Amino acid sequence: MSHPVSSDRRRFLSRIALGAAALPLLRLTSAQAADLPHLSPDDPTAKALGYTPDASKIDPKKEPAFKTGSHCGGCALFTAPASGDFGACGAFSGKAVNQGGWCRAYAAKA
């Protein structure tokens, strides 16, 4: 004899699955960002994306993607820190970037 699976059970199991899938997205809070090591401009990923910790030193002629006034603090990938100048960045997993920095992954906040 087969037992029909209740819709409540299905709903519960689907919510558990969605919650588990969302956990990696929530793994990095501002408090944790303070514990991350600072990204070095010599890091291979930083070099590939042209990261500099001080956007004011970028020569727009040498970096055509750079727009004057843009910096990590205004980027959609940047998670602002609770305090201090360094926060998490979606482009550099596991590293903190200077909010006054810039890289080619810059995406203006909407």
Using one digit for the tens of pLDDT, what is the confidence trace for 45-83? 999 999 999 999 999 999 999 999 999 999 999 999 888
Q: What is the pTM of this model?
A: 0.69
User: Closest Cα to residue 74, out of 60, 63, 89?
Assistant: 89
Please, which residues have CB within 8 angstroms of residue 94's CB and are 6 or more apart in sequence?
A: 36, 37
Tokens standing for residue 22: 């969302």
The CATH number given to 28-98 is 4.10.490.10
Residue holding tokens 């991350």? Answer: 36
The domain spans of the chain are 28-98
- Report the distance separating Cα 2 and Cα 25, nearest Å: 38
